Amino acid sequence: MVGKMSELERAAERLRRARRVVAFTGAGVSAESGVPTFRGAGGLWEGRPVEEVATPQGFAADPVRVWRFYDERRCNLARCRPNPAHEVLARWQDRFPAYTLVTQNVDGLHEDAGARAVLHLHGSIWALRCTACGRERVERAAPLPELPPRCTGCGEMERPGVVWFGEYLPEEALRAASRAAAATEVLIVVGTSAVVYPAAGLVQTAAAAGAVVIEVNPEASALAHLADVELRGPAGVLLPQLDTLLTAVSA
Ligand code: OAD
């Protein structure tokens, strides 16, 4: 009997044959770690004027208000641990000959799960950057002892090392991610609404270059129409199932 292949089996089949794989993640991959997403009910941006806390203008107008927001997020994130989705995405670096993990997240949970060489398109909430001399440092203390924090070199005010609306993405990370997306055989898009550009453009780049696109998300993203395989459900459940299947079929 020829049964209809489940979406999970189809995804596993595509991945089993692939040598080049790109994983592209958004806030949803961290949802099961207790990190709020940005959009939708209970999202971080809900009922909050984004321009106040996530733009250079908002920071210039009131740096301490912005720092209070980021310090609170840092405190919440300090309590969060990677979930099984992060763990699978980290393990895949040893499974595929060419594997690139690209994230829009600033939480660092991919690294906490053991991922190396993650491309961060929107920076890191643990990075602090001097507004005067540009010196950057990693600071894990949460809460920060002083708001706003001061540069350990020149003493001027630091800002969060994240990308705000209206700012450029880190050039090297974006270039490397675009190159990987254009050359990949499979792009697996996990937990992003795919509405923020240029990051979301990676999905279009990969699809246009003929990659198989797999979307893992309980809901259809704005670019779900580009997906060849749609895995509808939480990443922390579906990615381990996919990984098990992949291991079984490749054994
Ligand atoms: P969003 O909040 O826009 O979208 C989160 C996505 O995760 C939604 O599509 C949800 O359906 C999905 N989701 C929720 N729970 C999930 C789960 N358990 N497993 C899988 N998916 C789940 O977050 P992003 O797409 O990451 O930018 O947002 C993109 C950018 O907008 C962020 O990087 C941030 C924000 O403004 C900056 O801060 C620069």
Burial degree of 219 (CB within 10 A; 0-12, 13-18, 19+): exposed
The per-residue pLDDT for range 55-88, each reduced to its tens digit, is 999 999 999 999 999 999 999 999 999 999 999 9
For 24, list phi and psi in degrees, rounded to 5.
-125, 115
Give pLDDT, residue 44.
82
Whether pLDDT at 249 is above 70: no
Query: Does 148 contact ligand 1 (Cβ within 6 A)?
Result: no
- Mean pLDDT of the residues in the chain: 95
% of the chain with per-residue pLDDT over 90? 90
Residues in the chain: 251
pLDDT, residue 80, reads: 98
pLDDT of 241 higher than 70: yes
- Rounded Cα distance, 28 and 9, in Å: 22
Taking the CA atoms of 192, 196, 198 and 204 in sequence, report the sign of the dihedral they define: positive
pLDDT cut 70: percent of the chain above it: 97
Q: Which tokens is 17 given?
A: 């044959």
Phi-psi region of 210 (alpha: psi -120 to 50; beta: other; left: phi over 0): left
pLDDT at position 1: 42
Residue 159 has pLDDT above 90, yes or no: yes
pLDDT at 206 over 70: yes
- CB of residue 84 inside a 6 A radius of ligand 1: no
Q: 131 alpha carbon to ligand 1 midpoint, in Å? A: 28
Q: What integer pLDDT is reported at residue 138 of this predicted model?
A: 97
Which of 104, 124, 168 has the most ligand 1 atoms within 8 A of CB, as the residue to mutate?
A: 104
Which protein residue has the closest C-alpha to ligand 1 atom 21?
191
The question of whether 122 is a catalytic residue gets the answer yes
Q: Is 203 within 8 Å of 189 (Cβ atoms)?
A: yes
Q: What is the pTM of this model?
A: 0.96
With b for 16 or more beta-carbon neighbours within 10 A and e for fewer, the 221-248 pattern comes to bebbebbbbbbeebbbbbbebbbebbee
CA distance 72 to 60: 19
Give phi and psi for 131, each to the nearest 5: -75, -15
H-type alpha helices, the chain: 7-17, 50-53, 56-61, 63-78, 84-91, 109-112, 171-183, 201-208, 235-250
Residue 40 is predicted with a pLDDT of 78
Write the DSSP assignment of 132-152 as a string of letters: TT--EEE---SS-SSSS-B-T
